Structures are given as structure tokens and as C-alpha cells.
Structure 1
Amino acid sequence: MSNNSYTSDWDVYFCYIEDMPAFMSVDLGIAPVAPLADKPTLLEIVVGLQTIAENGFPGNEEWEMLEEIEDAVVSTLEAKIEAVFVGKTLSNGMRSFYFYTGETLLFEQTMEAVIAEFPQYRIAYQMQPDEEWNIYQDLLYPDEESLQKIYNNRILKNLEEQGDQPFIPRTITHWIYFSTKEDREAFSAIAKGEGYSVRLEEEIEDQPGKPYKFVLHKEDKADEVTINEITLKLKEMAEQYNGEYDGWETEAITEYS
């Protein structure tokens, strides 16, 4: 029996699919319980765009209709066959939706009813076994770099809502955890050479795996480009010493002092 208890947590990121630019939307919240044993079948629904820009994305006038199609597909499959909506892609003139389900007998009938609502669109669908949820794990779920950028953007959005002026330098604090004290000390020497100051070093006894906590800080701007560059570099540096980068924080700066 699978554990279907989770909280949806949707986000979007940019990447490339077969050398074409793509926007990926994925439910990150289902990852801790995936794959669901009672949802072993993948459903893929592909909508052909009518107005396609040079980059493969739709024209401005088509977004509203795509949202209508999405609402119809999602609400119908959830209600009729208890399908779980896990992600969608937009690339190369196509919008694709991905679901997992345990009920397949009514899938074709259900989709034909949805397609009849949008006769002006080319809508195709298929189902296939995917017990391990490989499409969710390998296609939809972001890689480590994209996931870090997602978390960065969430913090930056919160700062923006507070009136933050991102190009004003301020103290930015980072957390990293290590497996051994020796790894932490080796990383510390490198980080100091990069201009970081140590704020805290401690051992957390009830945290297995990486109990050696390391908190460092530095004056930096908090715009998207700078933050992505900083965090990805720290993440790479930490991994060289068996460390795990665990995020950052800063205060909103609303005006020059």
C-alpha cells in the first residue's frame, strides 16, 4: 500500500529539451513519496500550439486557451480516473501534460470527451507502464543546479515583496554541512581565500551523515545573477569536500544607508 499523503509544491524552471528551449513545471512536493505504488501508469497528453514563435513558445494570444485546455484535462482526469498530475512541459511548439494513474480502462474515453471540447486543437495522448516514475524523475524533476535556482528565486521573491533593492551589497549568510571535521576545515581554508568570514562552526550530534555545521557570510549583492553565481559556486566547492550546501539568507535592504 502506497503513501499518498503529500502537499503539492509546484514551481517552474527553464532548460533545454533536445537543444530546444523549454519551460518545465513540476510538482516538487510529491518527490518524497514517489513513486506511488498504486499509480504505475504514465499518461502523456500533448497539445500542438497554433501560434508558434521562433523559440517554439506560443504567441501571447494563445496562453489563455492553453490554460483552459489544462484546466479541462487536469480536472477531468483527476475526477474520472484519480490521476495524479505531476508536471508539464512547453517546448518546440507543444504543451505536454504528465499524470500517473492506476486506472486505465476509462482513459481513452475520458480523453476523447476532453478533445471534443477543443476541436480547433491537435491533441494526442498515450499511456505506458512506468512503475518507477522514470519520466517524473529523469525528465520533469529539476537537476541540482535548476533546483538551487528555484530555491534562490523563492527567497528573492520574498525579498522583493519586502521592497528589497537587490543591487545594494549586504551581508549574505550561507549554511553548509560536512561529514567530517577535516572536510570542514579544508573547505574553510578555501572559503576564507574567497573572502568569506566564518560565523559558526559546531557539531550536531543528532544529525547523522553530515553533522559538522558550517555557517559563513560575505558582503554581496542579492540580484538573481549574483545569487545564482554565488550559491552554485559554494555548492560545487562544498561537494569537493563531501559537503552539502543548505541555503542562504539575508535581510531586505530597502534604501541606501
Structure 2
Amino acid sequence: MDIETDNWTLAQYRDPESPQIWIFRKNQAPSVKPGSASHPHVCYLTFGYVPEDASGLPSSEDATRLQNIEATDVLDLERGGLAVLVGVALKNGIKDFIFYTSDPKEFLVRAAAIRDSHIEFKLGCEVAKDKKWSHYLDFPGTAA
């Protein structure tokens, strides 16, 4: 993730009938233009954690671990132009990293290595074709 060119927005949602807090970050200027045919697959890399309280947010210890994973391991998924991180969602015991990739098989191989390195979190990965980048366009935040 090139912080020089990436432009992230932050959105927070609070349900008035619940103590839950949802936090969304969206990359407004990903290194691959939204809708690009070169990266037609959306990938959700999901880390499960035990919420600290009714807000659904992680403990400070888990939050630090997840930030460190984002700063190091998540970057491996972008290496060589394989994928681009377009969004992050934190809500009710999960932290989702949303990518678009050119090669879903290689993405899954790299994601498995992250899973094996962080057994303290329940890690899942889903990949689907999304040529129109509709997941990105529907993600909370201003559309690019």
C-alpha cells in the first residue's frame, strides 16, 4: 500500500438501538483504477476475534496485533501487483480486508500463509468474480 498515492476515507456507523460500532476505511485512490479488467476478482480476507465488549470492537491487544498484520503481512498480498487493498471493515468480532486481485489462486496461496502465521485469529478468505467492482462501489465512503 503506497501511502503517498492512496487516499483513505473513514466512516463510522452506530446503531441507535445497539452499542455496536462499525468502522469502515475506503481507499479513494487505489493503485489499480476501480473497474479495471486487470483485477476482476474481489477478495475478502476476514480475521475473527473475540470482541472486548458490547461495542463489538477488539481489545487494545488484538487491535494492535491486527494493525501490525495490516502493516506487514497484508502488504504481501499486494506485492508484485497481485492485489490492491480497497477497503477495511471492523465490526462485531471481525476485521475484513477487501482486495481486488488479478490471480485468485495466488491470492489464496498467500492468504493461507497469513492464516498459518496468525492462528490466534479465525482467518477466512472468500474470492468472487466482480468485473464491475460493485463491492468497492457499494462499500461505505465516497465512490471513486
* TM-score tier after normalising by the smaller chain length: 0.7 to 0.9
Asked if residue 75 in structure 1 is aligned to residue 43 in structure 2, the reply is: no
- Counterpart-to-counterpart distance in 1, 2:83 and 2:30: 13
Partner in structure 2 of residue 152 of structure 1: none
TM-score (norm 1): 0.48
Asked if residue 113 in structure 1 is aligned to residue 118 in structure 2, the reply is: no
Q: Counting helix residues as a fraction of each chain, which structure ranks higher?
A: 1
| Pairs aligned (count) | 137
- Is 19-28 or 38-47 further displaced after alignment? 19-28
TM-score (norm 2): 0.82
Partner in structure 2 of residue 54 of structure 1: 54
Larger RCO: Structure 1 or Structure 2 (Cα < 8 Å, ≥ 6 residues apart)? 2
- Counterpart-to-counterpart distance in 2, 1:114 and 1:50: 19
User: SS of 2:108's equivalent?
Assistant: helix
User: SS of 1:106's equivalent?
Assistant: helix
One-letter identity of the residue aligned with 1:120 = E
One-letter identity of the residue aligned with 1:137 = L
One-letter identity of the residue aligned with 2:6 = S
Asked if 2 retains the 8 angstrom alpha-carbon contact of 1:14 and 1:22, the reply is yes
Cα offset, 1:16, TM superposition: 5.3
- Counterpart-to-counterpart distance in 2, 1:116 and 1:81: 23
* 112 and 30 in structure 1: CA distance in 2 versus 1, 3 angstrom threshold: closer
Asked if 2 retains the 8 angstrom alpha-carbon contact of 1:11 and 1:26, the reply is yes
- Counterpart-to-counterpart distance in 2, 1:107 and 1:34: 18
Partner in structure 2 of residue 9 of structure 1: 7
Asked if 2 retains the 8 angstrom alpha-carbon contact of 1:39 and 1:100, the reply is yes
One-letter identity of the residue aligned with 1:57 = L
One-letter identity of the residue aligned with 2:7 = D
Structure 2 gap ranges (5+): none
Cα offset, 1:111, TM superposition: 1.1
Q: In terms of Rg, which structure is larger?
A: 1
- Counterpart-to-counterpart distance in 1, 2:80 and 2:30: 21
Cα offset, 1:73, TM superposition: 3.7
1:1-257 matches, cutoff 5 A = 7-15=5-13, 20-30=20-30, 33-79=33-79, 82-142=82-142
Cα offset, 1:41, TM superposition: 0.3
Asked if 2 retains the 8 angstrom alpha-carbon contact of 1:40 and 1:101, the reply is yes
Structure 1 runs of 4+ with >4 Å offset: none
